[in-house]
A and B are shown apart, each in its own frame.
Chain A
Amino acid sequence: DAKTTQPTSMDCAEGRAANLPCNHSTISGNEYVYWYRQIHSQGPQYIIHGLKNNETNEMASLIITEDRKSSTLILPHATLRDTAVYYCIVRVRGGADGLTFGKGTHLIIQP
Chain B
Amino acid sequence: DTAVSQTPKYLVTQMGNDKSIKCEQNLGHDTMYWYKQDSKKFLKIMFSYNNKELIINETVPNRFSPKSPDKAHLNLHINSLELGDSAVYFCASGLAGGPSSDTQYFGPGTRLTVL
**Residues of A bordering B, CB below 8 Å:** 32, 34, 38, 41-46, 49, 85, 91, 93-101, 103
A58 to chain B, nearest CB (A): 14
What's the tally of chain B residues with a CB closer than 8 Å to chain A?
Answer: 30
Name the one of A43, A91, A97, A101 contacting B48, with C-beta atoms under 8 angstroms.
Answer: A97
Majority DSSP secondary structure for residues of B touching A: strand
Residue of A nearest to B44 (CB): A101
A-binding segment of B13-21, B35-43, B77-85:
B35-43
In the bound complex, do residue A99 and residue B104 qualify as a contact, i.e. CB atoms below 8 Å apart? yes
Residue of B nearest to A49 (CB): B102
Name the one of B50, B55, B102 contacting A91, with C-beta atoms under 8 angstroms.
Answer: B102
In the bound complex, do residue A96 and residue B108 qualify as a contact, i.e. CB atoms below 8 Å apart? no
Residue of B nearest to A46 (CB): B103
In the bound complex, do residue B101 and residue A43 qualify as a contact, i.e. CB atoms below 8 Å apart? no
The verdict on A44 contacting B96 (CB below 8 Å), with A49-B103, A93-B102, A96-B48 known, is no
**Residues of B bordering A, CB below 8 Å:** 4, 31, 33, 35, 41-48, 50, 55-56, 58, 90, 92, 96-98, 101-109
Task: List the B side residues contacting A42 at CB < 8 Å.
Answer: 108-109
Residue of A nearest to B4 (CB): A43
In the bound complex, do residue B42 and residue A34 qualify as a contact, i.e. CB atoms below 8 Å apart? no
Task: List the A side residues contacting B92 at CB < 8 Å.
Answer: 43-44, 98
Q: Please, could you name 26 A-B residue pairs with CB atoms under 8 Å apart, sorted by A?
A: A41-B109, A42-B109, A43-B4, A43-B108, A44-B43, A44-B90, A44-B104, A45-B106, A46-B103, A49-B102, A85-B41, A93-B101, A94-B97, A96-B31, A96-B48, A96-B96, A97-B48, A97-B55, A98-B35, A98-B47, A98-B48, A98-B56, A98-B58, A99-B102, A99-B104, A101-B43
